[in-house]
Amino acid sequence: MFSGKVAQVRDIFIGGDNPVAVQTMYDSQIASCDVEEVLHRLRVLKSMGCDLIRFSYVSSADRENFAAICSGSPMPVVADIHFDYKMALEAIQAGADKIRINPGNIGPKWKTEEVVKAALDHSTAIRIGLNNGSLPRGREGDRPEDIMADSALEYLSWFASWGFDNTVVSLKSSDIATTISANRKLKAACDVPLHIGVTEAGGVVSSCIRSTYAFTKLFEEGIGDTMRVSITGSIEDEVHAAVEILRALGYSKGGVRIVSCPRCGRHTFDSQGFLKQVENRLLTVNKDITVAIMGCQVNGPGEAKNADVAITGIGNKVFLYYRGQLYRDVDVSVAEDSLFDLIDKI
């Protein structure tokens, strides 16, 4: 969204005037996975607003499933490589749209060169991904943000000398201030597209707070072209959080905006349980609408009057509202289906 240069990863463009691309990282091993299950989950993630998916590519045992995932995936696939440059070569040949490497941990420079040349031959993008936890040695005493930014600039100069520029860079730390200052430093020095995020940011609450703070600061300064919210939790939550953060900061991803009451002692409908039941399904609806889930019929409809669709209830009955007007009431056992029937009609 902010960088001058643009990287192309299959049909996703990162940088320039393009919207911030949302990404997450798959949470299980490739070699032992059920490819059809993975592809189904990727389709759901895409409908929730995910633009890129990354997998850890750890050994040659991953190759067959990885190739099948690349050819069936509804979104570009990134292979995450550490230590063994041959895994990067394999992943590129198997159809990776992008690979993530840290040139500092794959050995002598010629190995990185081999990888970059293979990426050039296959039109594969590369993310140079540097984390505070895996910094190059030899600069003890320097600030981690300086080591990360300077290392990235050095690797970018290698890539340029090999004629490669389909590159994204990430500089991440679990420390927010380090993440922000490293990205500031790199942004001031070059216009490569930047993947931003606070790494190892904790559970949902911790991560959302830390990530939102960092993204707000960075976006305000024009820094950040693709993002991951790193959560010790589900990858669906990571995508949901990223989309909500973009929306809250005014970089809308569209889709369903959920309004739900906190629930108080007046509640006659289990809005918390119902939200848990329908939330992920709602997030896959491809409509720019507001859906309210309210705990009582006394204040709920009034509080939800700006929603396109609202639901609340009393005892075994739920009431559905369409743009502030009562639409119908149904038994609570069919509440979910009735809600989605109404949404379908919009």
Q: Which residues bind ligand SF4 (CB under 6 A)?
A: 261-264, 266-267, 294-296, 299-300, 303
Residue 55 has phi, psi (to 5 degrees) of -125, 145
Please report how many Cα atoms fall inside a 13 Å half-sphere around the Cα of residue 238, on the Cβ side: 29
Residue placing its CB nearer to ligand SF4 in the complex, 289 or 298: 298
CA angle 257, 258, 262 (to 5 degrees): 150
Residue 258 to residue 343: CA distance in whole angstroms = 13
- For the bound state, the minimum distance from the C-beta of residue 269 to ligand SF4, rounded and expressed in Å, comes to 8
Handedness of CA 15, 16, 20, 22 (dihedral sign): negative
> Tokens at residue 255, please?
């889709």
Question: Is residue 204 exposed (0-12), middle (13-18) or buried (19+ Cβ within 10 Å)?
Answer: middle
CB of 277 to ligand SF4, least distance (A): 17
CB closer to ligand SF4 out of 111 and 263: 263
The residue sitting closest to ligand SF4, measured at its beta carbon, is 295
Decide whether 84 or 303 has the Cβ nearer to ligand SF4. Answer: 303
Q: CB of residue 10 vs ligand SF4: minimum separation in angstroms?
A: 44
Comparison of 59 and 299: residue with beta carbon closer to ligand SF4: 299
Q: Which of 272, 273, 261, 268 is nearest to 310 (CA)?
A: 261
State in angstroms the smallest separation of the CB of 266 from ligand SF4: 4
Give the SS3 label for residue 119.
helix
Task: Give whichever of 203 and 324 is closer to ligand SF4, judged by the CB atom.
Answer: 324
- What is d(CA 160, CA 136) in angstroms, rounded to the nearest whole number? 20
Nearer to ligand SF4 by Cβ, of 221 and 303: the residue is 303
Handedness of CA 224, 228, 231, 236 (dihedral sign): positive
Rounded distance between C-alpha atoms, residue 61 and residue 87, angstroms? 10
| Helices 35-48/271-283 angle, 10° precision | 100
Nearer CB in complex with ligand SF4: 86/263 = 263
The least CB distance from residue 312 to ligand SF4, in Å, is 7
Give the span between the Cα atoms of 52 and 26, in whole angstroms.
10
Q: What does the alpha-carbon distance between residue 146 and residue 128 come to, in Å, rounded to a whole number? A: 16
**Residue 297 Cβ vs ligand SF4, minimum distance, rounded to whole Å:** 8
Shortest Å, Cβ 255 to ligand SF4:
23
